[in-house]
Amino acid sequence: MDPVLLVGAGGAVGSVLRYACSRFPPVRGLPAGTLFVNVLGSFLMGLIVFSRQPDDILYFAGLGGMGGFTTFSTFSYETFRMLEDQDSYTMALNILTNVAGSILGVIAALGICSALLG
């Protein structure tokens, strides 16, 4: 199938799922939905890539689905709002948890795929 169609269809699914998660209530001032989608999306993207899925799965679920599901632009906006509110502690915690959590998600996926696939 055409990669453009696969990415577009996957992106539509990922975006709807992200919207659903955006309704999660904040936890200690942190936008829980954004943190959830970024960490989970990074983990799932790692699983898709490191498990050596066929190109159609990579295009649909990886580039499209996880591209629509994760949200750096929302993370940036929410972090900026914390800066505007002069909430330095929550802003720093938001940056740390999103970046570190997302990287740890990819590392966890690599570990799982390496253990399962050799």
Query: Which single residue is written with the structure tokens 């200690």?
Result: 28
Residues 101 and 49: beta-carbon distance below 8 Å:
no
Annotate 60-91 with three-state secondary structure.
Answer: HHHHHHHHHHCCHHHHHHHHHHHHHCCCHHHH
Per-residue pLDDT of the chain (118 residues; tens, 9 = 90+): 999 999 999 999 999 999 999 999 999 999 999 999 999 999 999 999 999 999 999 999 999 999 999 988 789 989 999 999 999 999 999 999 999 999 999 999 999 999 999 8
